[in-house]
Amino acid sequence: MLLEQGMTIPPRFLDELRARLTLSDIIGKRVRLTRAGREFKGCCPFHNEKSPSFYVNDDKQFFHCFGCGTHGSAIDFVMRHDNLSFIEAVETLAATAGMQVPQSSPADVERAKKEKDLYSLMDEAAKWMEAQLRKPENKTAYDYMRERGVPDDVLSAFRVGYVPADMQSLRKHLAAQGYTDAQMIEGGLLKTSEKAREPYAFFRERVMFPVPDRRGRIVAFGGRILPDHLRAPDRGDFKPPKYINSTDTPLFHKGSMLYGEPHARLAASEGLTVIVVEGYLDVIACFRGGFRGAVAPLGTALTEEQILRLWKMIPEEHKVPVLCFDGDNAGRRAAARACERILPHLKPNHSAKIAFLPDGEDPDTLINGKGKDAFSAVLSGALNLVDFLWQENYAGRDFDTPESRAGLSKTLEDTASRITDRTVQHYYREAFRQKVREAFAPKPAAASAGSAAPVSERRPYQPQNRQWQGNFKGRNGFGGRESMVPPPPIPSLQRPISAKNGLFSRALLACLLNNPVIFHDIEEEASRLHFPENGLDRLRQAVLSTLSRKPELDAAALKTHLSGQGLGEQMQLILNESVYTHAPFARVSEDDGAVVAAWREAWKRMQAQEEERDIRQAKIAFQEDMNEENEARWQNMRKRPGTPDS
């Protein structure tokens, strides 16, 4: 931007700009105004109010809200409402008034003209693509988008288009409008090669998603190939990637931009949550579902520059976007990498939350298949960064020795030390230390030996009841010969359990229902169980909620309580022989220590199978979309021991 390069805008230009603008026209495009005498009034866009207290005076070129006190000129309004910098607001208003912001040198003038021509080129290309989507010969592409649940008004809002398989049609159209091959190549629309006699289209036979900058100007494109059954067969063994994106150009740097930013900025100015999802169709599905603050990176993992950009989009004091990830292991790893990038930049009132989608779902499939309430539930369950980092380092792991607990503390201290802001770093350290104290605090003593009650009447399981803990017991909490006696062999996992149809998750939940006494030992892992079926997931949530509030319940009382909540049918789905045959450990047992050990062994096996599935999915993702992130992910997984080198 010119101002950012050290240039100042002459006051005479600003005076002329204000003189050419009618303030009520500028504000009236963003706020509903009604005439009130010589002024206009409306509800203030900067705070929630039911009765209008926001007034606009064209004579004075001034607005004022008697409710919150906000006031200023047209530039002030556009800066605050559209969340723009001063120079961006001036340039936006100058374009509206048909004025050119003054340039400071011949080089600036030439650069500005070149950029203006490129912006014009990209906009003309987007218009042509939009028109192609509506043509009868391209009805297959249009029908595909409608089948994906995208109505006409949303297609128009995002300027979705189409490019046919013809390599020259876009080039011919733009040439007819006066644009050169050199401009089209610089804009990323054409490619050259030694084999081709002339430049050819970079995007072919794809649904097109124009990428606007923060001011709505088209700077790049993303293209999705049509499904195999809707297009001609591929030549030979070549399989085109599902998505391709524009390469970097003078207008576009993919690591610094976010798809959907103009819509999200406007939504953020209205107080809506900014949400980061994965792709173009996810953003569009969120927008259609009312989540207008959705944005997506452009073929890369979330970068530090994009994180800072997210915070700038949010006008409120508390800047906390929600980052959405897949609910599988790959999604958790992606979330962990995002946290690594965020940590150094945390500062007071600048953070993020982490949300995980149900297994096998993305925002597009979730909203289209189960409705916006299902996605709202995902956002409501988003974790604060400190809670996510705790889960990542604590859940599903054994900390039975002082050394392992010390290792956990050191890892958390190292994590906090990556935060540059000393105040935020201090509070993260305090939060982590508090969580460690709570996790390893001594628990109440269990009943004396020899007084064991029947299974249905047993007290909640306490660590002191175990035969084998791996930590120190005895006088003063150390030693104790009995603590070194290993448990008997566990036959409960002799029959292999397949992850198919969620049998692992069903068995683990069934075991907890039959043996609620183990809840305190496996609470963290149980909270991460996931079920594609809504009913079973409601059952899981009810079990965890009930045992958190009433840990004294035995199996019979727990089941009675859940039946009273209308969950009897869901319990029958997992408390049956089809589960017990494959997972005998899920039955009622009096050996608490053996049940805990078997539960954790099953949990580890489930995690291992999910890891194998993630590796397969990484390979498929790389084959379908050969972008940098997918390649890096696949290469990293190939290096793991035991991974097939293919």
pLDDT, position 498: 44
- Please tell me the predicted confidence (pLDDT) of residue 467: 36
pLDDT tens by residue, 51-68:
899 999 887 889 999 988
Distance CA 160, CA 508 (A): 45
Domain boundary assignment for the chain? 11-97, 106-230+240-245, 261-394, 503-633
* Superfamily of segment(s) 106-230+240-245: DNA primase, catalytic core, N-terminal domain (3.90.980.10)
> What's residue 530's pLDDT?
77
Q: What is the pLDDT of residues 553-581, one digit of tens each?
A: 888 889 888 988 888 888 988 998 888 88
What is the Cα–Cα distance from 579 to 569, expressed in whole angstroms?
15
Architecture in CATH for domain 11-97: Alpha-Beta Complex (3.90)
CA gap 366, 370 in Å, rounded: 5
| Predicted TM-score of the model (pTM) | 0.60
- Architecture of the 261-394 domain: 3-Layer(aba) Sandwich (3.40)
Q: What is the DSSP string of 614-634?
A: HHHHHHHHHHH---HHHHHHH
Residue 313's pLDDT band, with cuts at 50, 70 and 90, is: confident
Q: Is the pLDDT of residue 402 over 50?
A: yes
Q: What is the mean pLDDT of residues 41-46?
A: 92
Written as six digits, the tokens of 257 are: 């931009």
| Percentage, residues of the chain above pLDDT 90 | 48
Classified as helix, coil or strand, 248 is coil
Mean pLDDT of 143-166: 95
**Higher pLDDT among residues 281 and 548, named by residue:** 281
pLDDT of residue 187: 95
CA distances from 490 to 59, 416, 460, 518, 522 (A): 85, 40, 22, 16, 18
Strand, coil or helix: 319: strand
Average pLDDT, the chain: 83
Number of residues written out for the chain: 646
pLDDT tens per residue, range 339-351: 999 999 999 999 9
Residue 216: count other Cβ atoms within 10 Å of its Cβ.
15
pLDDT tens-digit series, residues 442-482: 765 544 444 444 443 333 434 333 333 333 333 333 333 33
CA–CA dist 144, 284 (Å, integer) = 14
In whole angstroms, what separates CA 622 from the centre of its chain? 20
Instruction: Examine the pLDDT at 428 and tell me if it is beyond 90.
Output: yes
Q: Rounded distance, CA 208 to CA 610, Å?
A: 34
pLDDT of 489 > 60? The answer is no
In the prediction, which pLDDT does 640 show?
57
538 pLDDT higher than 90: no
Predicted local confidence at residue 448, as pLDDT: 42
- pLDDT of res. 19: 79
Digit-coded pLDDT (tens) for 243-287: 999 999 999 999 999 999 999 998 988 889 999 999 999 999 999
Residues 367, 375: contact at Cβ < 8 Å?
yes
Tokens of 190: 């054409």
Nearest to 469 by CA among 590, 600, 588, 584: 600
The strand pair at 322-325 and 275-276 is best described as parallel
* pLDDT over 80 (residue 598): yes
- Which tens digit of pLDDT belongs to each residue from 173-222? 999 999 999 999 999 999 987 777 889 999 999 999 999 998 899 999 99
Q: For residue 577, what pLDDT is reported?
A: 84
